[in-house]
Amino acid sequence: MSAARKEIGPPVIELGTIGWLRKNLFSNWYNSLLTIFGLYLLYILIPPLVNWIFLDANFVGSTRDDCSNEGACWIFIQQNIKLIFYGLYPTEELWRINLVYLILLISGVYLLIPNLRHKGWVGAFLLIIFPIICVVMLSGGFGLEAVETRLWGGLFLTLVIAGVGIVLSLPIGVMLALGRRSKLPVVSLLCTIFIEIWRGVPLITVLFMASNMFPLFMPEGVNFDKLIRALIGVMFFSAAYLAEVVRGGLQAMPKGQYEASQAVGLTYWRMMALVILPQSLKMVIPAIIGSFIAIFKDTTLVLVIGLFDFLGIIQFVGTNPDWLGFSHEGYVFAAAVFWVFCYAMSWYSQRLEKKLDTGR
């Protein structure tokens, strides 16, 4: 009697690790087959990779003779680290770049920590004063020695191009999106043409145009350097993409929001700045960050017009006769760095999306 009354728990095979394995990996015969195939795939991929990257790799040394050639030779990266991170920037001036990084890091961390006060001021500092600091610190002036942009390179140059592209293209993109949605036919038509042209062509042709055609457009004596021309190209290109993202947000706004703000007598610009844009930009934040990731990855293309960005410099270092034959290490290192940046951005966007998803 009492035995029958005792509650009977679920069978062991549905519980714990075994239950989980049964449910997720071996639920039927073809799933089991797939699992075995997956395990095999991991077996042929992971151990050799781990061996190459870590176990058989050389980390200490100063020349290529210190490499055993059994695994990766990270000495290659280590010996060229200054070139890879800063390009040909003069060594005694490197503190200027590091200071800029430090300011950015401190204010960035400040903005990321929740529940701190004066975030608005820090943001304003980053958007208005920080760019000026950057220009002065990096290119020189006010008693600092001038450093030509042709000496800029490496990860530093990549961050400059991506940073300028991201910061400048957002406002232009918003204006283009507003223009395209405008009721004034001329404005709307011009913005549409502008957006579609930039979006319809590959970035590489834009960069070719920037390096070959820009000099022809300018009056005599006006000579932009190569970096600025590339920056202008990247900026317009990404602005066009952002414009379409922002337009998506504008279109998703319920009509009532427009009508309500007009009903309380807001002018067009106030309506946009106070009611429409804050809501619609919030809606498309994931897509905007997606565009930022794309810009960041696209900065690698500047190497075709002869700028040595992160990838370009790694490619260049690999052609150094002392270090021939280490392209694998270079590419893997570059891939890891790019991956960390891009993945961090997409992780942050997912987090933000969850945090901002308050409306529903």
Partner 1 sequence: METDKSKIGSFIFNRSVQGIFYQLITLGLVALGIYYIVTNTARNMLERGLASGFHFLGVESQFDIGMTLIDYSPTSTYFDSFIVGLLNTLLVAGIGILFATIIGFTVGIMRLSSNWLIAKIAEAYVEILRNIPLLLQIFFWYFAVLRALPKPKQSLELYDSFFLNNRGLFIPDTVFGEGSSIIFYLLWLTIIISIGIFIWAKRRQNRTGERFPAFYVSTTLILGTFFVSLAATGFPVSFEYPELKGFNFKGGVKLIPELVALTFALAMYTASFIAEVVRGGIMAVSKGQTEAAKSVGLKQNLILRLIIIPQALRVIVPPLTNQYLNLTKNSSLAAAIAYPDLVLVFAGTALMQTGQAIEIIGMVMGVYLFLSLFTSLIMNLFNRFMKVDGER
Binding stretches for partner 1 (CB under 8 A): 24-25, 27, 31, 34-35, 38-39, 41-42, 183-187, 190, 196-197, 199-202, 204-205, 208-209, 212-213, 215-220, 293, 297-298, 300-301, 303-304, 311, 315, 318, 327-328, 331, 334-335, 338-339, 342-343, 346
Residue 342 CB, shortest distance to partner 1, in Å, is 4
φ/ψ (deg, to 5) at 80: -105, 15
What torsion, rounded to 10 degrees, do the Cα atoms 105, 106, 107, 109 define? 80
Which tokens belong to 86? 């800063």
Residue 206 CB, shortest distance to partner 1, in Å, is 8
Q: How many CB atoms lie within 10 A of CB 342?
A: 15
Residue 142 CB, shortest distance to partner 1, in Å, is 33
From CA 265, how far away is CA 263, in angstroms rounded? Answer: 5
Q: Which is nearer to partner 1, 82 or 199 (CB)?
A: 199
Residue 25 CB, shortest distance to partner 1, in Å, is 6
Residue 196 CB, shortest distance to partner 1, in Å, is 7
Residue 20 CB, shortest distance to partner 1, in Å, is 8
From CA 56, how far away is CA 140, in angstroms rounded? Answer: 44
From CA 130, how far away is CA 102, in angstroms rounded? Answer: 12
Q: How many CB atoms lie within 10 A of CB 42?
A: 10
Q: Which is nearer to partner 1, 25 or 104 (CB)?
A: 25
Q: How many CB atoms lie within 10 A of CB 249?
A: 21
What torsion, rounded to 10 degrees, do the Cα atoms 209, 212, 216, 217 define? 20
From CA 95, how far away is CA 89, in angstroms rounded? Answer: 11
* Planar angle of CA 162, 295, 170, nearest 5 degrees: 80
DSSP state, residue 127 = I
Residue 329 CB, shortest distance to partner 1, in Å, is 10
